[in-house]
Chains A and B, each alone.
Chain A
C-alpha cells in the first residue's frame, strides 16, 4: 500500500530582547552558569512578573509578517507542571487566546536542478503564542545541575497546521521561517544555541484517505538537518509498523540525530494535565491599531517577495537571487551597489557580489558588515569595466586589492597603470595595420564569414601590449572593414 505522510511542526523561536520576558535581568547565551538570574528568575518567595513590551512587539511583528490575525489583547495563562528546569513549576504562557492566529509560511521545494527554481507553497499556521523559556539541566553521572540563564527568555511557539507531506517540506518550512525571523530581526534562530527548536507531529495514512492517522510527536530535533532526517526516519518507521501488520501508538518519541534512531519517551496515557488558568499576576495588555501600525511599518519585505522583485525588476537570474536573497545584508548591499552603478548593470553587480565578494569574504573569514568593501567599490568597479576602461582580466586583481585595502578601484587602476588604451588615433592605426597584414581574412569577412574578424584582434592587442579596449577594437575594425 502507498502511504502519505502528514506533518505538523511546533517551532520554538527565542525572541532577541535585551532583557528577559518578565524581569529586568539581561537575556543572553554563553555566560557563566546562573549569572543571568535575579529573584524573579529564581522564583524566590514573593516575587512578581512584569511584562517586557519588546517581546509583544516581536510576536506581533512576526504575526504581521506571516499574515496572522493579531489578538486585540495579550492575555497570559499559567501552565502548571513540575520539572526542575522550571523555577516556578509553572510556565507563563498563552493558552486559549494566542497572540496570533492563522497566517502562513511560504516555502520553496527543491527544483529539478540547482539553477532552476522549485515549486512554491503556502503552509498554513494554526497559531503563534508567547511563553517563557525554561532553564537547562546538565546531567552528570550522579547528579544533575541546573543553569537558569536561559529561564525566562521570551519564546514564541509557532504551530503549523498538519499540512506538510514530506521531510523536504518540513525542512523548507523551517528554512523559510528562519529566514523570515532573521530578516525581521526577531531572532537569530541559531539552532545550536537553542534559539530555534522544533518538535514534529507525524502520522501516515493510505493515499486517498482524508482522515488523519495516529500521530507521533517527535522531540529534540535540534538542527535543521536532524529535522529532515528525523521526520524521514519516523515516516519509514511508521510505514514499516503498518506494513508488518502493527498499529501506530500515540506517543512522544525522542530522536537521536547522532545515531539516527528514536525511542519512546511517554505514551498518551502519561500526558500531563497542565491545569491552565489565567495568570492573576499579569493584567491583559491591549494591543491597539496604532501599536500594530507602528510595527507594520518596521516589517521588512519577506525574502521570497524580494526574490520575485529582484528577478522582475533587475532581471537577474534565479541562481544569483538565491545567493543574495537569503542574507538580508547581502541583498541590501546588492541594491545599494546597483543604485550606485546605474541602470543596466544589475547582473554584472550581482555576479561580482555573488562570486568574487563572497569568495573573498569566505577566504578572509570576514563578515560582510566588517568588510572594507562598500557597495560603492563594487559599483565603481563595474562602471570601469562596462565603460571599457578596465579589462575583465585585470579586474579580478583590482577586486582582490580593493578588498584587502579598501582603496577605490579607480585609484588602483591608475596607480598600477591598468587603464585600458582609449587613444582613438593610435587604435585606428593598429587596426589598419592588422587589416593590411591579412588580406585573406578581409575577403573572408567580406564574404560573410563573421569569425574572420577575430583574426585581426590578436595583432591589435599585441600592438597595444594588451591595453586596448576590446569593445572599441571590435567597433573600429567593423567600421574600417565596412569602408573598404
Chain B
C-alpha cells in the first residue's frame, strides 16, 4: 500500500481490506501514526484511545478472517465529534462542564457504525456545546485548518473536519444545527452533509437545539459520505423525531441518477458580504451544471434576511432548556465551594460553561420569559414556517438549490471577536436547518492563497440520494477534493 493509506477513499480501503492487501490493524496503525505526526499542528482531537482503536481493529481482522466481515465500513476508522456518546469514552462537548464525563452508553449512530464494523476513533474538538463557527469556543484548544494552519477549520464541527482533511481519520461524524457540518466542510475541502431533519437519530447526541440538530457525515468525497449515510440513516425507536422512511442504497442511486437537473439560484444568497473569490467559484459551478444540460433558474427565498434572527431565538431558547441538566448535581463539573443547592447551581454553571454558552443560555432564557414569549419565540416560529414555505415554493420549479456554503473562505484565528460577526458566518446555512432540509457542502475551488471554497446544494426533504447525485456529477468533473492539505 502507499505510504498515504490514511488519504485513501473508503471504497479503495474497503477493496484493499477485502482483497487482503491491507489489514484493519495496519490501517488503524497508519492513522494513529499520521495523527501523532500532525496533531501538534492540527489539534483536532480532544482525546483518542489507541488501545481501544487497536482492539476494534483486531476484532475486525478476526471477523474478516472468519469470513464474517460486516460490509464496506468494516475495519475503517471513523472519527466522532465529541458530542456523540460512545460507551466507555469521554464525552466532553469541549466544555469544562463535562471535562471528566465518560459516557456509559452508545449513541444510536455509534451503535449502527459498530454493527457495520466501523472503528470508533477519537473524540473530535468543537465549539463548546456546538455553539460557534470556528472551533475557537472550545474550552480546551483551538483547532487549526489543515489547509491554512493560522486559520480556523470552521465550526462547530471543526475537529471532525480538520481530522479528515489532515488524514487523522478516514471520515467522521459531526452535527449541524445552523451550518456546523457544511461550513467546516467548506473550510477544509471536504464533502459534508446535513441530512433532512429526522433522517438520522439524535439519540446520544448532546442536544444544542433539538428542533435543528442533525448528525451527519464528513468525507473526502461524495462516495465516502454516501457510505456513512447509508449506515447511520433510518428510523430509531429511541428518537421520537426520527422519521419512518425507507433508506435507499445511496451509492447505487448516485450511480443511476445522471440528471440533468433543474437548479435554483436564490438571488438573496449572492448579495452583500459575499467574498468575490467565493462568488466566482460558485458561479463557475453554476456554469458547469449548465454545460451538463441542467436548467438554471433564478429563484427567490424572500424571508432569508429574517433567518439569522429567528435562528438565534429558537436555537437559544431550546439550548437554555437543554443545558439546564448540567447543574453539578448528578454528574459533570461540581463547584467545590457551594454553600447550598442554589449556590451549587450558580457556581457549578458559572465555572463550567464558557462565555458563548452563557451568552446563549441568557438569551434563550430571556426570549422564553413570561411576557416575551409571543414577541420572540412564537414570532420566530412563524418566521421559520415562512422560510420553509419559501423553499417548498422554490421546489415547485427546481430539484435543488445551489448557493455558496459560507460568505468567505476560512478566516484567521482570533479575528472574529464580535459574536455578531461570527453569527453571520452561518447566513447561508441556517435557513436549511430552520426548514429541516438536507444540504451538502462540496469543494468547488480554492482562493488565490490556497484556502478551500465550498458550495452548498440544498435538496428536498428526504431526497438525499438526488442531492448526492447532483454533487457527485460536479465532483467527478473537478476533483478539488484530491488536493492535499499543507500539513
Contacts and interface: CB of A to CB of B under 8 A. Distances in A.
Interface string A58-86: 00000000000000000000101010100
Given A44-B103, A45-B101, A48-B239, A78 B321 contact: yes
Greatest chain A CB density within 10 A among B205, B318, B324, B369 is at B324
B341 A87 contact: no
Contacts of A276: 368, 373
Contact of A88 (B91, B202, B324): B324
Interface stretch (A174-182, A256-264, A279-287): A279-287
Contact of B368 (A50, A80, A88, A280): A80
Nearest to A88: B325
Interface stretch (B25-33, B219-227, B326-334): B326-334
Interface stretch (B151-159, B206-214, B277-285, B386-394): B206-214
A84 B345 CA distance: 10
B107 interface: yes
Interface string A33-71: 000000100111111111100000000000000000000
B238 A80 contact: no
A283 B198 CA distance: 11
B8 to A, nearest CB: 32
Given A89-B324, A275-B368, A281-B240, A45 B203 contact: no
Given A275-B365, A277-B368, A280-B211, A48 B238 contact: yes
Nearest to A274: B370
Contacts of B330: 42-43, 87, 146
A84 B238 contact: no
A350 B373 CA distance: 60
Contacts of A78: 321
A277 B204 contact: no
B329 A146 contact: yes
Contacts of B45: none
Contact of A283 (B101, B103, B205, B241): B241
Interface in A267-307: 273, 275-277, 280-283
B56 to A, nearest CB: 21
A481 to B, nearest CB: 85
A90 interface: yes
A357 B238 CA distance: 50
Contacts of B320: 80, 275
Interface in A173-211: none
B324 A90 contact: yes
Given A49-B240, A273-B370, A80 B324 contact: yes
Contacts of A48: 202-203, 207, 238-241
Contacts of B84: 46
Interface in B80-115: 83-85, 91, 93, 98, 101, 103-105, 107
Given A44-B103, A46-B107, A89-B327, A280 B318 contact: yes
Nearest to B84: A46
Given A46-B85, A275-B321, A82 B327 contact: yes
18 contacts: A42-B330, A44-B103, A45-B83, A45-B91, A45-B101, A45-B103, A46-B83, A46-B85, A47-B204, A48-B203, A51-B240, A82-B345, A89-B325, A146-B329, A276-B373, A277-B368, A280-B241, A281-B210
Given A273-B369, A277-B368, A281-B241, 20 more contacts: A39-B105, A45-B91, A45-B103, A45-B206, A45-B326, A46-B107, A48-B207, A80-B324, A80-B368, A84-B341, A87-B325, A87-B330, A88-B325, A275-B369, A276-B368, A276-B373, A277-B321, A277-B377, A280-B318, A281-B207
Interface of B: 83-85, 91, 93, 98, 101, 103-105, 107, 202-207, 209-211, 237-241, 317-318, 320-321, 324-327, 329-331, 341-342, 345, 365, 368-370, 373, 377
9 smallest CB-CB distances across A and B, nearest first, come from A89-B324, A280-B211, A275-B368, A280-B210, A43-B325, A45-B206, A46-B204, A273-B370, A46-B85
Interface of A: 39, 42-51, 78, 80, 82, 84, 87-90, 144, 146, 273, 275-277, 280-283
